[in-house]
Amino acid sequence: MSQTPEDQPATTYEQAREELADVVRRLEAGGLTLEESLGLWERGEQLAELCRHWLDRARERLAAATPGDQPE
């Protein structure tokens, strides 16, 4: 299945990865309320899914560009 430009998220992989790293740092630092921690956790899940999206698309592009008879 090919992706059209309108199917692409507005956030780049690099932006999502950096924000996810920040979320992890904040959670690891502690000192947050339960509600704040849950909100960050939920945002982290969204960012992880976004990163998976970009990585899946990259794998698809690599697979399409790699001839099937060559070893990986």
7-56 pLDDT, tens digit per residue, is 678 899 999 999 999 999 999 999 999 999 999 999 999 999 999 999 99
Distance CA 2, CA 31 (A): 44
DSSP sequence for 5-71: GGGS-SS-HHHHHHHHHHHHHHHHH----HHHHHHHHHHHHHHHHHHHHHHHHHHHHHHHHS-TTS-
Q: Where is average pLDDT lowest: 2-6, 29-33, 34-38, 65-69?
A: 2-6
User: What is the model's pTM?
Assistant: 0.76
